[in-house]
Every structure is written in C-alpha cells, then in structure tokens.
Amino acid sequence: MPTAKDFLVGRTLSKGWKVTQKVTNPTGETGGHFSSGYLVESPTGKPHFLKAIDFEAAMRAKDPARALQALTEMFNLERDILNLSKSKRMSHVVTVIEDGTENVSVPDAPGGGPAQTVQYLIFELAHESLRHMVTVSKRLPMSQALKALHNVANGLRQLHGVQVAHQDMKPSNALRFVDGVFKVCDVGRASMKGRAAPHDGLSVAGERTYAPPELLYGQVDPDFVVRRLGCDAYLLGSLAAFLITGLPMTAMIIDELDSAARPTVWTGTYAAVLGQVRAAYARALDRVANDIPTEAPYREELLQCIRQLCDPDPDLRGHPVTRATLAGTGNVYDLERYISIFDRLALEAGIHERRKASR
Amino acid sequence: MSISQPDAERRLLPRWRPSEATIFAGELASASTVEKEREPDAHFEERKLEWDRERSIEVAAELVASGIVLGRLNEVEPAVRMLADNASDANPSIRAVARRALGERAVAPPESLGLQPGRLDPTPVYSHISALRRHVHLHPRDAYAWVDLARLYTILGQTPSADRTIRVALELAPEDRFVLRSAARYLVHVDDPQAAQRLLNGARATRVDPWLIAAEISVAQVAKRRSVTASLGQRGLDHSQWAPRSSSELAGALGTLLLEDGAMQKARQLFRRSLEDPTENAIAQAQWASQQSLGLIVPAPLLNRPATYEARALRARLEGLWDAAIARSWEWTEFEPTSSRPLMMGSYVAGVVFGDGATVLEFAERGLYAEPHNASLLNNKAVGLAYLGRVSEAAIILAKVVIDTSPNFTQPALYATTGLLAFRGGNPVTGREFYERAASHPYTQRDRSVRILALWHLALEEARALTDQADAAVARAERASKDSKLAEVAALRKRLDEIKSKTTAQRDQ
C-alpha cells in the first residue's frame, strides 16, 4: 500500500526544497526498509539527496507500537549522530544539511484519510557509491581504491572519536563526492556508547553479508570496543578485500568453510569452530593475494592490513602495535595507523600506475 | 612366535589425518542434534527484488555473496549461473566462487603423500613440508596448518620439530577439536599418554564434545589411568545428546572400556550403537572387538565404506586372506602414515604366514622411520633380517631393545626372536630356552594365541635345524593349537611342510 513518502515527487517542501525524482538506486543511501531516497533541489537549485522515513509503514508491522518506537529511536539516533558529526566537522562522514517533517496527504488512502507525516533528512549529494564504482568486470585503479580506504578509515575513526560505531560499513555506504573525497554514510545501524539503540539486541546490527564471523556465530562481547569498534575494523578490512576481489571477506571465508561449519548450521561455540574459520580465512586471504599483481609495490603491506583487520578472532584483530600500546586503556582497534598506511600506499600505487601507463 | 602380534590391545585413539581430510570425513561438524532456525533477512529479500529488476553481473555478485553467507544459495541459482558463465564479464575470483556454488568445485581429495608400498621415499613428504612452511609463514595463526606440519614431521620421525609445531597449534587453538585430538594422538605417539590425558582434561571443550570425550577415555586407557569423562560421556549417550555420527567413537571407546572390564553385554550394546553412523575408526574398533569373543559381527557393507583399510585388514587376517591382509596393510599405512600399527600388521602377516624376510623388513623399516625406538618394530626388523640370513645384523638390531623394560605384550615376541637368532646362529639349546620363555610368559595366560604361535615357531626352527626334538616340538604345537580358531595355524603348518620338503631335498642331495 502506498504511503506518504511515495507521494513526494513534484512537491515543494515547506522549507523550500523541491523533490524532483525518486531514487531506486541511489547515490545516497536508503538505510533500511522503512525509508526511501529522493533527489531534491535546494531553493537555489543545487541538487541534494533526501532520505524519507516511513512511519506509516511501521503501523503495518506485526507489533506497530514497538515498530514505531524502534523506528523513532533509530531515526533520532541517526539524526543525533549526523548532527554530532556536522558539529564536529567530520570531513569524511556525509554531512546532513537539514532535517524536518512534512505533512503529505495520500490520495488513495481509504476514506481519503488524514495527511500523513514524513520525516526526512537532507544530505549533500554524492557523485557515486563505491558499490557502483567497483564493477565485477572492471576494478577500481588501486590508487583510487586505496584513497577510498584511506577516506573511509578516516570517517570511521572520526565516528569512533565520539564513541560511535558504524557497524554497517559496506561498499554502498562509502560515497564519492565531486571533489573526489569519499565519505561514510548511513549511520542508521550505528551504536553510540552509553545510548540504547533498537538494534542493540541483535548480534549483527548491519547487513549479515558483510558482518564479522564472530557475530554471525553469535559470539557477542559485552564490551562496546570489542563488539562494535572491532566490527568496524573488520568491515574496513572486508571493504579492502571487496575492492580487490569484488567479494566481501565474509562471503569468501564462508565459501571456503565446510558446509557443516558454516554459521547457519554450526550450533557449537565460536571458540570451537575458530580453528576451521581461521583455516578458511587463510585460503580466503590467498584468493585476495592472487588478485593483486605480484609486481605491485603495495601488495604485501595491503595484504598485511587486510590480514590484521579481518582477523576472525576479535581479540587479535587490528594493528599489533596499536593493540600492544592501547591494551586495557583504550580503543585497541584505533585506525590511525591504517589511515597513514593507506595514504602512503595510495601515493605509491598512483606512481606505479603512472609509470605503467607511460611504458 | 617371533613376530610381534599386532593389535593385542586396540584403543579408539583419534586418527591423525590431514585437516582437510578430517573435515571432509565430517569429523569436525557440530556434535549437537539441535538444528539452527533460519533467520529472516530483509537485506536478502531486497537484493532478490533488485535482481528481479536488474539482471546485471554486479547485482548477481552481491546476491550470490549474500546467498553464501546466509546459506541460501539454492534461492539464487540464476544469479550463480550468470556469474559462472564463461561469457560473462565476471572476474576469475567471482567466477570461481560461482562454479563452486554450482557444485563444480573439485572436492579436495584427502591428501595423498604419494607414498608407495616398501621403503619410505621422504621426497614427497619434504615437498609437502616446504609448502606448509610457506603457508604458516603467510598465515602464522592457522592452527590447522601447524597441526598438518607436525604430522608430516612425525611421519619422518622428526620429533623435536613435530613437538614445536604441535605446541604452536595448541597455543593458537587450545579449545579446537581437531587440534586437541591431533595433539593427544601425537602425545600417545611419543609415549606420553599421561600428557595427552592432561591436555584433554584441561580443555573446557572436552566437557561438551563427544569426540574429545572419546579421545580422553582412550588415552586414559593407554595411560592405564581412570577416565575423568567416561561418566559424562555415558550420560550424554543415555540422553541422546549428540548425533549418531558424533557419538560413534564415544560409544566405541566406552564399549572398549567395558570390554576390558568384562562387561560383555553392555560392551556389545555400545559397539552396536557405535555402528549406527560410524566413522571408519569406529568400524575398525568394532571389527577388533568382534575378535574378542564378544559375539559381535560387523556388517559386511560397513567394511566396504571408504577408507576402512584397517577394518578390512583386521577382517582379512581373521579370515586367513593373507595376501589381502598385506595389501590392506599397505593401504592403511598410506592412510595413517604416523601409525606403526599397519606396519606391525603387515610385518606380522609377512613373517608368520609367509616367512618372507624381505617384506617383513620393508614394513618394519617403514615403521621405524616414524618410531625408531618401537620395540615391536625393532623385533620384527630383527626377524626379517634373520629370515634373510643376516643374523649378525639382526642381533645388533635386537640388542637395542631391553626386554625386561619393554611393554608386557611385546616380551613373548622378543624372547622368541632371541631364540630364533640363537637357532639361526647354530645354538639350538639357547634357542629352545628362549622359545620356552616366550611360551610360558605370563602374558600367554591372557592370550592363548601367543603360546600357540611361540610353540609353532619353535617347531619350525627345530624342523629347519633338523634337531632330534623336531617331531616332539611339532606334536606339542599341534596339541597346543587343538580347537584353536587361529587362522595362522594352517599357514604355519604349510610353512612346516615346506621346510620339511626342503630339508628332505637337501638331505637327498
């Protein structure tokens, strides 16, 4: 059944934004099953991206009261995180321009119905997402891929700096803007330390296809750092693997696992299956290595980064020096070292690509 | 008897196979009978809708990745086919994934070291070691690779290297079933079953895992200690807590424990239970148990299952199919190259049944590669050399063994071999004395066949040496083996006839 958010196209919102087009394959994000994306124009004619939240859809859920509460909490958390990132001037997190509500009447609602409220967020408009830049047949030049990794790591670290874990860092949630900068978007599945979120009870907050293996096997550490920042570190490594192979690390690991040891089948503990996961991980890493040219100057260091970031054991994940330095005192998954490494490797890859092209 | 009897006591110790082969055999699956419920996944449903709208390779790749992670590949077959198609633009990695999903994955065959019957050629083992060392250099936290490496070192008898590598694996995965079972097997191999039991009892996983409980019960038996987990295992079996496949070795291990205690009926029930969905190891254990007056018969179809080399070797010996017993022993050697048991079986049959010194030597030397101090194998090597007429070399080999400190069950054979060397060295009086010691050893009270074999071998040597006591020795051996079902007796009579006709021919010349 159509709801208010389906009748936004052609409408000028009360704050002067003109909704021009519904986006089915957005270069923004939809961020869930209760939202839609639109292209909008500012009063000055500049294009932006609008994310509309469908509270009406929650009313059709099995338990509307709970669904509505969850959606409201999720929206408020997302809005607060985005406003926080804006106020902290986070350079690699997508900037929210405005948020508001709009009353929209639904023409074919039974009895004409009262106007429904649409809550929205308006963002700067991205050029494209990593998901669409990396095609299965054509990979991103490694200088670009490493720049994306550098920028995404920066965005995640900026969020971590305010105790926010993204938890859904996948290719479609890394957006490239016209100035070539990549930013992290869709904080709809994020968690903020000390603040409850409706998805807190789920072992996997983001999309399972990308999730770290410990969460798929149901090993949920009560510690915010291990469970949530550790998840982000894995997702960054998985993104690197995706940029090289076209597949997320999780899918590669599970593909290498015996069917009886896969998370959808395994009923034992994570500790009991970790040996098998690690053996599968080694084979998955070999696949990644096979897809990096042997002569590439960044090869070994990039593989090392992926190996550390995607370690199936969250207690061993991340940069070993950072782990040793910050153990027991802070975020052992601090991405600072990776930001430096990806930055340097992007430069080296650029030089390598230019030399190759000039030959 | 000169050759050590194989498998006087068999324990259901874990097989030490390569990790891939162990996984392939289904021995690392969840033990529980509980099935996991499928969770709905809204992202996956969204992706399927997207695929319906846009049949592109990019969408297919994402959908297939989701299908792999969520265990729902069967729902996305058209997308898999698109990626697997040679004409598609999919890169080789993704195409390989898709082909695997379509079942075109070349199922990794259980690792073959390319070992041939006869003397061990270490070259292929060294090349596997090199490959694994490269692997652990790249993936130092892959505990399974470290275990596999330790296994290869063990095959070559390089115990210090094996020891180091198995300890690395234990550091990395101290609660992992494969690592724990392999390490326990290794510790038994190096004659430290007490450490194996400590290791298993120190792991939390042993409290809940029937595979580890089975291993603990068996290593406790080898260590001649009380099992800590046997009652836990029995309770788990009583409550059908585990899938039949997962509890197969546990039932077999408990059955062996009860068999040792003389509780035949309960033991028989447990062995039958172990055969509901058995591992090849459980089948071998049941076949061994069936030879212990238990009234248990292992159904023939179970013996035709893959990799049941040991069970088939045991059955062939029982039925007196000697050529088959030797052939199965070689297959079993390749299947389990860290174990001396197939080599003891092969050398036993070659020596006792055929008096074939060369084959005895091949089996024994192969076994001594991995276990250079194994008393039974040293004994068998000495026998092989003696049969080939190399008596002084045989004496040097046998001198490496101190009979009194050797395991009880090996002592009759060691006495008998000393007697054999004395006969072959032209000293029948001493030879007779040692054969008598073998025949009257306390162990023969427990196993009548040992006495029968000792007396038959004495008779053979008396006949071969043309002593005046030959006929009496043969008559005594015949009396001792009256009503015995030991298949070897017929073969020994045949050997006696051959010796008699040969000596008659020599006398006539």
Quote the CA–CA distance of A115 and A16 in Å, as a whole number.
19
Is the pLDDT at A26 greater than 50? The verdict is: no
Is the pLDDT at B223 greater than 80? The verdict is: yes
Quote the CA–CA distance of B69 and A211 in Å, as a whole number.
9
Lowest model confidence (mean pLDDT) among A110-114, A198-202, B446-450: A110-114
Query: What CATH number has the domain bearing residue A337?
Result: 1.10.510.10
Quick check: helix, strand or coil at residue B232?
A: helix
State the pLDDT confidence band at B105, using cuts at 50, 70 and 90.
low
Is the pLDDT at B483 greater than 90? The verdict is: no
DSSP E strands, chain A: 18-23, 35-41, 47-53, 96-104, 116-124, 128-129, 164-165, 174-176, 182-184, 191-192
Helix H or strand E encompassing A346? helix A336-358
Q: Round the average pLDDT of chain B to a whole number and report it.
A: 91
Are B230 and B266 in contact by the 8 Å Cβ rule? The answer is: no
Are A277 and B139 in contact by the 8 Å Cβ rule? The answer is: no
* Contact assignment for A209 to B69 by CB distance below 8 Å: yes
pLDDT of residue A112: 53
Quote the CA–CA distance of B290 and B298 in Å, as a whole number.
7
| Chains A–B, number of C-beta pairs less than 8 Å apart | 160
pLDDT above 70 coverage of chain A, percent:
91
Q: How many CA atoms lie within 13 A of B418 on its CB side?
A: 20
Contacts of A205 (CB under 8 A, 6+ apart): A167, A168, A189, A190, A191, A197, A199, A228, A231
Nearest to A267 among B36, B42, B60 (CB): B36
Tell me the C-alpha to C-alpha distance, in Å, between residue B422 and each of A169, B429, B457. 80, 8, 13
Q: What would the CATH number be for the domain defined by B19-25+122-307? A: 1.25.40.10
Q: Of the residues A107, A124, A141, which one is the last residue of a structural domain?
A: A124
**DSSP state for residue A262 in the 8-state scheme:** S
Q: What's the whole-number mean pLDDT along residues B115-127?
A: 82
Contacts of B417 (CB under 8 A, 6+ apart): B2, B379, B382, B383, B386, B398
Q: What's the whole-number mean pLDDT along residues A200-219?
A: 92
Query: Do residues A113 and A179 both lie within one domain?
Result: no
State the pLDDT confidence band at A314, using cuts at 50, 70 and 90.
very high
- The angle at the Cα of B11, spanning B443 to B281, to the nearest 5 degrees, equals 140
Bridging pattern class, strands A128-129 and A164-165: unpaired
* Contact assignment for B69 to A251 by CB distance below 8 Å: yes
Quote the CA–CA distance of B197 and B11 in Å, as a whole number.
14
Nearest to B65 among A137, A251, A286 (CB): A251
Quote the CA–CA distance of B274 and B237 in Å, as a whole number.
10
Query: Do residues A211 and A325 both lie within one domain?
Result: yes
Query: Do residues A119 and A141 both lie within one domain?
Result: no
Q: Which CATH architecture has domain B315-508?
A: Alpha Horseshoe (1.25)
Residues 30-59 of A with CB under 8 A from B: 33
pLDDT of residue A107: 65
pLDDT of residue A29: 40
Is the pLDDT at B409 greater than 80? The verdict is: yes
Q: How many residues does chain B have?
A: 509
Lowest model confidence (mean pLDDT) among A22-36, A300-314, B93-107, B354-368: A22-36
Query: Do residues A42 and A174 both lie within one domain?
Result: no
- Residues of chain B with C-beta less than 8 angstroms from the C-beta of A252: 97
Quote the CA–CA distance of B160 and B150 in Å, as a whole number.
10
Quote the CA–CA distance of B173 and A59 in Å, as a whole number.
49
Quote the CA–CA distance of A207 and B87 in Å, as a whole number.
31
Is the pLDDT at A114 greater than 80? The verdict is: no
Contacts of B80 (CB under 8 A, 6+ apart): B60, B64, B67, B73, B98, B101, B102
Query: Do residues A92 and A166 both lie within one domain?
Result: no
pLDDT above 90 coverage of chain B, percent:
73
State the pLDDT confidence band at A22, using cuts at 50, 70 and 90.
confident
Is the pLDDT at A138 greater than 70? The verdict is: no
Contacts of B19 (CB under 8 A, 6+ apart): A279, B144, B145, B147, B148, B178
* Interface contact B102, partner A, CB < 8 A: no
Query: Do residues A257 and A140 both lie within one domain?
Result: yes
Q: Tell me how far the alpha carbon of residue B461 is from its chain's centroid.
A: 33
Q: What's the whole-number mean pLDDT along residues B213-239?
A: 96
Query: Do residues A345 and A287 both lie within one domain?
Result: yes
Burial bucket for residue A223 (CB in 10 Å: 0-12, 13-18, 19+)? exposed
* Contact assignment for B143 to A275 by CB distance below 8 Å: yes
Q: What's the whole-number mean pLDDT along residues A340-346?
A: 97
- pLDDT tens track for A276-307: 999 999 999 999 999 999 999 999 999 999 99
Query: Do residues A135 and A84 both lie within one domain?
Result: no
Q: Which of A273, A49, A267 is nearest to B177 (CA)?
A: A273
Are B71 and A151 in contact by the 8 Å Cβ rule? The answer is: no
pLDDT of residue B233: 96
Is the pLDDT at A28 greater than 50? The verdict is: no
Instruction: Please list the residues that pair with A51 across neighbouring strands.
Output: A37, A121
Domain range for A40 is 4-124
Q: Which of B211, B277, B218, B271 is nearest to B244 (CA)?
A: B277
Is the pLDDT at B506 greater than 90? The verdict is: no
Q: What's the whole-number mean pLDDT along residues A111-129?
A: 79
* Interface contact B226, partner A, CB < 8 A: no
Query: Do residues A345 and A214 both lie within one domain?
Result: yes
- Taking the CA of residue B445 and the nearest CA in chain A, the distance in Å comes to 46
Helix H or strand E encompassing B271? helix B264-274
Are A54 and A4 in contact by the 8 Å Cβ rule? The answer is: yes
State the pLDDT confidence band at B222, using cuts at 50, 70 and 90.
very high
Chain B residue with CA closest to A34: the answer is B42
pLDDT of residue A178: 87
Are B326 and B313 in contact by the 8 Å Cβ rule? The answer is: no
pLDDT of residue A108: 56
- pLDDT tens track for B256-265: 999 988 899 9
Query: What CATH number has the domain bearing residue A66?
Result: 3.30.200.20
Q: What's the whole-number mean pLDDT along residues B46-74?
A: 91
Is the pLDDT at A324 greater than 60? The verdict is: yes
Query: Do residues A113 and A56 both lie within one domain?
Result: yes
B143 vs B117, more confident: B143
Query: Do residues A174 and A85 both lie within one domain?
Result: no
Tell me the C-alpha to C-alpha distance, in Å, between residue B141 and each of A47, A352, B174. 50, 32, 12
Is the pLDDT at B415 greater than 90? The verdict is: yes
Q: Of the residues A104, A124, A144, which one is the last residue of a structural domain?
A: A124
Q: What's the whole-number mean pLDDT along residues B8-30?
A: 91
Instruction: Please list the residues that pair with A117 across neighbouring strands.
Output: A103
Residues 198-257 of A with CB under 8 A from B: 207-209, 211, 216, 245-248, 250-252, 254-255
Quick check: helix, strand or coil at residue A235?
A: helix
Tell me the C-alpha to C-alpha distance, in Å, between residue A354 and each of A143, A146, B366. 10, 15, 59
* Contact assignment for B23 to A282 by CB distance below 8 Å: no
Quote the CA–CA distance of A265 and A45 in Å, as a whole number.
53
DSSP string, A140-182: PPHHHHHHHHHHHHHHHHHHHHTTEE-----GGGEEE-TTS-E
- pLDDT tens track for B63-86: 999 999 999 998 999 999 999 887
State the pLDDT confidence band at B111, using cuts at 50, 70 and 90.
low
B459 vs B240, more confident: B459
Quote the CA–CA distance of A230 and A235 in Å, as a whole number.
9
Are A235 and A212 in contact by the 8 Å Cβ rule? The answer is: yes
The total domain count for chain A is 2
Chain B interface, best mutation among A276, A291, A308, A310, by max B CB count within 10 A: A276
Is the pLDDT at B279 greater than 90? The verdict is: yes
Quote the CA–CA distance of B181 and B28 in Å, as a whole number.
11
Q: From the CB of residue B416, how many other CB atoms can be counted at a distance below 10 Å?
A: 31
Lowest model confidence (mean pLDDT) among A238-242, A289-293, B390-394, B443-447: B443-447
Q: From the CB of residue B369, how many other CB atoms can be counted at a distance below 10 Å?
A: 18
Helix H or strand E encompassing B387? helix B375-387
Tell me the C-alpha to C-alpha distance, in Å, between residue B430 and each of B98, B415, B460. 73, 11, 15
* Interface contact A291, partner B, CB < 8 A: yes
- The angle at the Cα of A321, spanning A320 to A323, to the nearest 5 degrees, equals 65
- pLDDT tens track for B452-478: 999 999 999 999 999 999 999 999 999
Q: How many residues does chain A have?
A: 359
Nearest to B58 among A24, A136, A291 (CB): A136
pLDDT of residue A137: 62
B508 vs B172, more confident: B172
Q: Of the residues A90, A124, A158, which one is the last residue of a structural domain?
A: A124
pLDDT of residue A131: 78
Is the pLDDT at B3 greater than 80? The verdict is: no
Q: What's the whole-number mean pLDDT along residues B434-456?
A: 91
Is the pLDDT at B180 greater than 90? The verdict is: yes
Quick check: helix, strand or coil at residue A183?
A: strand
Are B69 and A207 in contact by the 8 Å Cβ rule? The answer is: no
Alpha helix positions (H), B7-108: 19-24, 42-53, 57-70, 77-84, 92-99
Q: Round the average pLDDT of chain A to a whole number and report it.
A: 88
* Contact assignment for B89 to A266 by CB distance below 8 Å: no
pLDDT of residue A282: 96
Which amino acid appears at position B166 of this protein?
I
Query: Do residues A67 and A177 both lie within one domain?
Result: no
Q: Pick from B175-189, B291-305, B395-409 the range whose average pLDDT is largest.
A: B175-189
Q: From the CB of residue A47, how many other CB atoms can be counted at a distance below 10 Å?
A: 12
- Which residue intervals of chain B bear CATH 1.25.40.10? 19-25+122-307
- pLDDT tens track for A37-79: 899 999 898 999 999 887 777 777 788 888 888 888 888 999 9
pLDDT of residue B136: 97
- Residues of chain B with C-beta less than 8 angstroms from the C-beta of A316: 141
